[in-house]
Every structure is written in C-alpha cells, then in structure tokens.
Amino acid sequence: MTQNNPIITYKANTPIDYDELNLLYESVEWTGYTDFPDKMRKLLEGSSFYISAWHTNLLVGLIRAVGDEVSILYIQDLLIRPDYQRMGIGRQLMEGMLKQHTHIRQIVLMTDDTEKTAAFYRTFNFQTTQEMGGLAFTKTNMNR
C-alpha cells in the first residue's frame, strides 16, 4: 500500500518506457492493450496529447487522447494504479487534459456504465449523448 498523500509529479508528452507503460495497464487488467505488445508500443506516438502521473520513478497514472487538435478530442484512456486510486490523481489528470484543450469544440470519451464513473465525469460537465439529444455508435474489433 502506498502512503496516504504521496507526492505525485505530472508530465505532459514525456516519453515513457514501454515496460513502465505495460505495468500500468497490467495493474488495471486492461488486457485489450497488454495482449498486443506490438500495438501497445505505438500507443503514445499515436496520441495527440498525454499526461503521466509519477510517484518517484513509478508510473501511477495516465490520461491520453487522440484528435485533430482543432475541433475534436477523444479521451482514449484514463487509468490509475489501483493502490493509487481515490487520491485525486485522476482528477488532476483530467483537469490537466481539459485545461490544455479549452479551444476544442467537442471532447468525447467512452467509459464503463457505472454510477461511480458517471459521477466522476459529470463533475467535469460531461453529459451522455442521450442527454444532449444525440446517439453514439461504435464498432469494436475486440481481437485486434
């Protein structure tokens, strides 16, 4: 278990060693990433912007987005090591991402449908597409 109030440093678009990145994704059991190491090695280079959270030399959190940096930003991942959750790291990462992209017209994300998750994103004024009178579609190739 980590200390109650660790000192966390945040870094924007700073290179992250593949092994560190893989350990972070493994910690939250996102095997859709970790099962494909060749693709995972390209995650950050394909991102338009990302912020990492560090406790000393340990990668404890990451938010990353893809987009055109003009009209749309898609927040692809927001993940925090389980033993560092509920410490405000996710909030800091999201605030950093949103602050960097105030010029973007549309910010989109897709996430788990749980009360806890919905409550978190609502604190940043996110709405469901249904609440906005919209409908979202997705096509996922789970084995790729």
DSSP for 2-34, written as a single string: --SS--EEEEES----HHHHHHHHHHTT-HHHH
Tokens of 102: 């105030």
Is residue 2 scored above 60 in pLDDT?
Answer: no
Instruction: Provide the CATH number for the domain formed by 8-122 in this structure.
Output: 3.40.630.30
How far are the Cα atoms of 23, 26, 84, 132 from residue 29, in angstroms, in the given order? Answer: 10, 5, 15, 32
88 in Cβ contact with 53 (< 8 Å): no
Report DSSP state, residue 40: H
Show me where the domains of the chain are located.
8-122
Torsion sign (Cα): 14, 20, 26, 27: negative
The rounded mean pLDDT for the chain is 93
The DSSP code sequence of 83-115 is GGTTSSHHHHHHHHHHHHTTT-SEEEE-----H
> Which helix (H) or strand (E) element contains residue 58?
strand 58-67
Q: What pLDDT sits at residue 49?
A: 97
User: What pLDDT, on the 0 to 100 scale, is given for residue 141?
Assistant: 81
**Torsion-angle region of 120 (φ positive above 0: left; ψ -120 to 50: alpha; else: beta):** alpha
Residue pLDDT, tens place only, 39-97: 999 999 999 999 999 999 999 999 999 999 999 999 999 999 999 999 999 999 999 99
